[in-house]
Structure 1
């Protein structure tokens, strides 16, 4: 049914935007601060 094809692409695009936004939030909140803290700790240990 070709009349439903644009709705499929809109649904796929909205799902991709939702997943990308969720990944950016999770990485920015939980994953990246751990790496920053790890690198800061390594810097302090090497300067001691």
Structure 2
């Protein structure tokens, strides 16, 4: 049915934006802060170990 083709592409577009938004949200809320915290901890450990 050719009249359903625009709805198919619109559905793909909405789904792609929803997946992209959810990936960005999960990374910014949960994954990236832990990496930042880990790098800060490594920086402090190296600074403390160089003092001795």
Instruction: Give the whole-Å Cα distance in 2 for the aligned partners of 1:44 and 1:2.
Output: 62
Unpaired runs of at least 5, structure 1: none
Runs (4+) off by over 4 Å: none
Unpaired runs of at least 5, structure 2: none
Instruction: Give the whole-Å Cα distance in 2 for the aligned partners of 1:32 and 1:21.
Output: 15
* TM-score, reference length from structure 1: 0.96
When the two chains are superposed, the root-mean-square deviation of aligned CA atoms in Å is 0.5
Aligned length: 48
Instruction: Give the whole-Å Cα distance in 2 for the aligned partners of 1:10 and 1:40.
Output: 43
User: Which structure has the larger Rg over C-alpha atoms?
Assistant: 2
Give the match's secondary structure for 1:19: helix
